[in-house]
């Protein structure tokens, strides 16, 4: 079952978020408190959404994204911030994507942007995005500087 998360659900995502962070060498320093605070604010504004994949009442996966005006054209853009499904449920993860795409359409977005960590199923996810009609548009490069948080 897929449903839109409420602020009360945010703490249920922490175990999955920690798994997600543990699986990538690019992600570091997950803070459950910060996660909850940011998503509470995004959800309250109507610009952020999280969809949950539930199995027997337990959270098995989630996809979170935000919508915003593209800085130079003003067109509505929906960008995925995370998409993670626990190992035993990965065949059901596409349901999360379809819910997100439908949300973006309802919000009037003209574009969806999906993220792809290069150390997280690179070939499989590239094929999935291609089948969905996505094109690679930009590559981000990462260089670690320090462990400090930005205010």
Per-residue confidence (pLDDT) for residue 125, from 0 to 100: 82
Helix, strand or coil for residue 68?
strand
Is pLDDT of 117 > 90? no
What does the pLDDT read at residue 151? Answer: 59
Average pLDDT of the segment spanning 73-95 = 92
Name the one residue in this structure whose structure tokens are 């998360």.
Answer: 5
Residue 51 phi, psi (nearest 5)? -105, 140
Mean pLDDT of the chain: 91
10-37 tens-digit pLDDT:
999 999 998 888 888 888 888 999 999 9
Q: Encoding tokens for residue 3?
A: 């449903």
Q: And the tokens for 116?
A: 């792809």
User: Looking at residue 89, what is its pLDDT?
Assistant: 87
pTM of this structure: 0.89
Tell me phi and psi for residue 118, to 5 degrees: -70, -15
Question: What residue spans define the domains of the chain?
Answer: 2-131
Percent of the chain predicted with pLDDT > 70 = 95
CATH superfamily for 2-131 is Gcn5-related N-acetyltransferase (GNAT) (3.40.630.30)
Mean pLDDT of 35-56: 96
The whole-angstrom separation of Cα 99 and Cα 51 is 7
125-137: b (≥16 Cβ within 10 Å) or e: beebeeeeeeeee
Query: Contact at 8 Å (CB) between 48 and 65?
Result: yes
With the CA atoms of 84, 91, 53 and 142 taken in that order, what torsion angle do they form, in degrees rounded to the nearest 10? 10
């Amino acid at each position: 079952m897929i449903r839109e998360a409420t602020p009360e659900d945010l703490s249920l995502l922490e175990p999955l978020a920690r798994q997600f962070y543990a699986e990538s060498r690019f992600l570091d320093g997950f803070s459950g408190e910060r996660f909850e605070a940011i998503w509470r604010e995004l959800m309250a504004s109507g610009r952020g959404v999280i969809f949950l994949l539930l199995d027997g009442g337990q959270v098995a996966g989630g996809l979170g994204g935000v919508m915003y005006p593209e800085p130079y054209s003003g067109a509505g853009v929906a960008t995925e911030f995370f998409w993670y499904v626990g190992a035993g449920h990965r065949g059901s993860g596409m349901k999360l994507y379809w819910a997100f795409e439908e949300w973006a359409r309802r919000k009037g977005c003209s574009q969806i942007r999906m993220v792809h960590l290069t150390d997280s199923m690179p070939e499989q996810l590239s094929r999935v995005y291609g089948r969905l009609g996505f094109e690679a548009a930009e590559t981000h490069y990462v260089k670690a500087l320090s462990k400090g948080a930005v205010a």
